[in-house]
Structure 1
Amino acid sequence: MTFAFDNSPVWLDLLGVFFFAVSGSLLAARKQIDIVGSLLLASLVGLGGGVIRDIVLGIVPAAFTNPAYLAPPLLAMALVYFLFSSVQRYTSLLTLFDAAGLALFCMTGTVKALATGLNPVASVLLGVTTAVGGGLLRDITANEVPELFNPKDIYALPAFVGASCTAVLWVLGVFNVLTAAGIAALVFTFRVLAWRRSWQAPLAVRGWHRRPTDSGL
């Protein structure tokens, strides 16, 4: 049974906000930013992609109409504040939480665009924008090289795969809770494997080669 975005549980979107928000607070902790900065980064990455999506769709962003969207960044900030001393050795947590947020947002962004009448191609592009937008804001604000532009990693491609699968299944009428869980698992696995195995996309011009000094860090 398919479900429309408006009828899907809000917690699915909030869960994506939380995963992204934790990655923002973890980055703040790693860079020794204070607790206010931690909340700011958590809010930027957790809410930024959805705000961009809703503005493009011409609607009031959900983050500004539903107070529940303020809870995940606050919770993420508090969790990292109290627990970071016990997890600071596991820097991979930032990537894992970011990958989970990416997996959810590429779907919710695509589905919301489709539900508002956007064509499938435009919906896929907006789904990818929703997924990567918050991370881009987070990294720029924290003075980091955005993962989106890291030549030593693959970031947007998993989101594109997830958004494309979502649009195809939606058009076929078989996008439901089970298929959504499968897409989320696929995107998460793709993103984590790309990070752990240092998969790289081709450079902008054929024949160019990455220099040994290129770090992308």
Structure 2
Amino acid sequence: MEHALIIGASGGIGAALADHLAQSHKVTRLSRSADGLDITDPASVARHLDGLAPVDIAFVATGILAPDGAQPEKALDAIDAGDMARTFAVNAIGPALLLAGLAPHLTDTARVGVLTARVGSIGDNRMGGWYSYRAAKAAANQITHTAAIEIGRKRKQSVVVSLHPGTVETPFTQGYKAPKVSASEAAANLVGVLTALTPADTGGFFDYAGERIEW
């Protein structure tokens, strides 16, 4: 049975991904709340990823919209250096550390999806605002793209991509007016997209329907 790894498995999307993949895979679930994994701490990442069985499919489903008690900035004068640093630590440095720790454990045909967000697209940004979140997700996209190149040199049949899950019904999106899908539906969509991609797609940025998103 193939091995799936879900990092961020206590969150709405992460839990749904783990449950969906458990129907066909042996699943390892990792999260801060259940396992004490701190994705911003290299020692914590190494401790939790060392000794992993070979991974066939992995999702990095971690992230914050803003630090506790803060909100995404609507204007330049709302930027707080400490809040921005924390947003980058979780949304960009965290995925970088996770990809570094995960890379040695990937099978030759592994599929890795890093959940970022459409608002991380520079080309698609027409509304402004959300400086820290947008910039951190853009950084995560660059990190994922770069990691895909490196991982692909050794594992030529691998796929490493950024994925936009859409607006999902979770505590993270409470108050959003945009149409939402259930976490279980989002999970099925994301697994379907990731497993359908080919090595020619590695390093790309895709939405929940498998459509490319501009950088």
Bigger strand fraction? 2
State the TM-score, normalizing by the size of structure 1. 0.32
Which is greater in Rg? Answer: 1
Bigger helix fraction? 1
